[in-house]
Amino acid sequence: MEAIEVDPGTYATVNLNGTFFERLVGCYLVLTMPDKGLQEALESLADMKEFYKTQPQHLALPGPKTVFASGVLAERNDRPELIISE
């Protein structure tokens, strides 16, 4: 959604990045919330606002460690042939 242009001198230009309808629905839900659940809803919204305001940067996991081993192969063993008798 583009920015909503309003006559100069009345309201500022608002850019809601396509979330206008969702925000309007959210306002409607809070306005029609029964008094019994209003305080909990407001606290939850405040917590969510704080959470999304301070999102940490997700760092990539470190790559696997490369392990170099050195040594001498003592001897080579060949596996004996498999004999199947019927």
The average confidence (pLDDT) of the chain is 80
CB neighbour list of residue 13: distance below 8 Å, 6 or more residues apart: 3, 4, 5, 6
Reported confidence tier of residue 23, pLDDT bands at 50, 70, 90: confident
Residue 24 lies in a domain: yes
How many domains in the chain? Answer: 1
List the domain range (segments joined by +) for residue 16.
Answer: 1-53
Tens-digit pLDDT profile for residues 53-70: 877 677 777 788 888 877
Q: Does residue 71 lie within any of the structural domains?
A: no
Contacts of 33 (CB under 8 A, 6+ apart): 41
Kindly state whether residue 69 falls inside one of the protein's structural domains: no
